[in-house]
A and B are shown apart, each in its own frame.
Chain A
Amino acid sequence: MDSEVPIAILINEKTVVYGRDAEHLWKMGFYGELHEGRLTLLPVETLYLVENGKIKVYLDNRLLSFNELLHYFLRYDPEVWIKYVIYSDLRRRGYIVKSGFGGTSFRVYEKGAEVGKNPANIIVYGVVEGKPISLNELKEIVATAKSLKKEMVLAIVNGQCEVAYYKVSEVFT
C-alpha cells in the first residue's frame, strides 16, 4: 500500500511529481500546475499533501518528514507557516485554493468548482495577530478586490493558529 503513495522530488522551492501520479493529484483536487505530465507544487501544497499522506517527498534520495520539509521551506519563505495554516484551513473546509497575488494571498474557488472552467471568485488575504496592518494597506486590499471584481476575505490568524474570516468591502460611497 505504502509504495503506492506518489513520490515527489524537491527542486529548490518547488516540488515536482511526474507521470500518472501528476495527473492523479491534479484530478484529485487541482493541486499544483500541470504541464506536459509534470506537476509542480507550491510549498503549502506540498506540506498539505504530505500531512495527509498523499505524497512522499525526497531530497537527494532521502525521505523528508513534515517537520523537515517545513524547516526546508522556511529558509526560502519565512511566511510559509502562516500561509500553510490558512491554506490547509481552507482546504479542509472544501475549497480549492491556488496562489494569489503575492504576500499571504490566495485565489479561492467556490466549493465544487473546476479550475480552468470556473473563475476563482474570492481572494483570501492572510493577516496575523500581533502584526498590525496600516489602514492604507487595508484600503489598498479592498481597492484591489474591487478592481478585480472579486470578493475580498481577510483570514485572521491568532496565536493558536485559529482562523476567522471576514468579508471586507467599501461602503457608504
Chain B
Amino acid sequence: MVAPFKPIVVEWVGGNFVVWDFEASRWLYAHGFYGMPIKVRKPKDLNFNSPLVLSPIEALYLLDKGVISIVDGDRILSRSEVLSIVKSKHKLFNELYTVYCDLRNKGYVVRSGMKFGADFAVYVHGPGIDHAPFLVEVFPMNEKLDPVDIVRAGRLSHSVKKNFIIAMINPATNEVTYISFRWFKA
C-alpha cells in the first residue's frame, strides 16, 4: 500500500477509531479492505458514503505504516498512547499483532474473524471476492493444544468447509508458522 500524500485523520472517540471523511473511508477500504463502513455492513462496491471504523489492530498497523494519524479531540496521540489502548483490547496483543503484520506484509487481506469464532478472517483478494476466508487462530508457542479443540474449531468453521489455520510464533525469531487443518472424510 502506498500511503496517501497526507496521513488520513482518524479520531479516537467513544472507544473506537473512526474515519469521518467519506473519501478517506473509501480509500482505506479500497486499498486492502481496512475498516468497516458504519452505515453499510457488507459494501457491494467501493462507492459507499459512510464513516469507517478501524479495529484497534488495524489502527496501529496503519499508524505504523504512516497512512493515518490518530487524534483525541484536537490532540494527536503518540504511538505509545495508541499502543496502550490497543493492548488493553487484546489479551494476546503481541501475538495477534505479529501475525496480523506478517499476513498483511505478505499481501493478504486480514480482517476480524469474530463472527466466525476465530481471531482473523484472511482473504486472498478480499471479502465478497473470495468464496470464503481462511480462519486463523493465534496460539502462543508455549501453549499446548488439546486435540479435541481442533475438532471444536472445525465445527465452528463448518460454513467455510471446516478449514481453519493455527498461527504459531517462534519466540526466538518471531517467525510465524501457519498450520492448516482440513476436515478429511476418511
Binding site for B on A (CB under 8 A): 89-90, 93, 95, 127-136, 138-139, 142, 153-154, 156-158, 163-173
Known pairs A153-B184, A166-B182, A166-B184; A172 contacts B147 (CB<8 A): no
* CB 8 Å contact bits of B129-172 with A (1 = contact, 0 = none): 00000100001010111111011001000000000011010000
Q: B13 near A: Cβ within 8 Å?
A: no
Q: Roughly how many angstroms separate A136 CA and B141 CA in the complex, as a whole number?
A: 7
Residues of chain A lying within 8 A (CB to CB) of residue B183: 164-167
Residues of chain B lying within 8 A (CB to CB) of residue A142: 179
Chain B interface category by residue count? 20 to 34
Question: What's the nearest-Cβ distance from chain A to residue B151, in Å?
Answer: 5
Known pairs A139-B177, A154-B150, A171-B178; A133 contacts B144 (CB<8 A): yes
Given contacts A142-B179, A166-B154, 11 further A-B contacts (CB under 8 A): A133-B145, A156-B148, A156-B150, A163-B186, A167-B180, A167-B181, A168-B181, A169-B179, A170-B177, A171-B180, A172-B178
Contact call B186/A90, Cβ cutoff below 8 A: yes
Most buried by B among A90, A132, A138, A139: A138
Residues of chain B lying within 8 A (CB to CB) of residue A95: 186
Q: Roughly how many angstroms separate A133 CA and B143 CA in the complex, as a whole number?
A: 9
Residues of chain A lying within 8 A (CB to CB) of residue B150: 154, 156, 166
Q: B77 near A: Cβ within 8 Å?
A: no
Q: Roughly how many angstroms separate A130 CA and B151 CA in the complex, as a whole number?
A: 13
Q: Roughly how many angstroms separate A162 CA and B186 CA in the complex, as a whole number?
A: 13
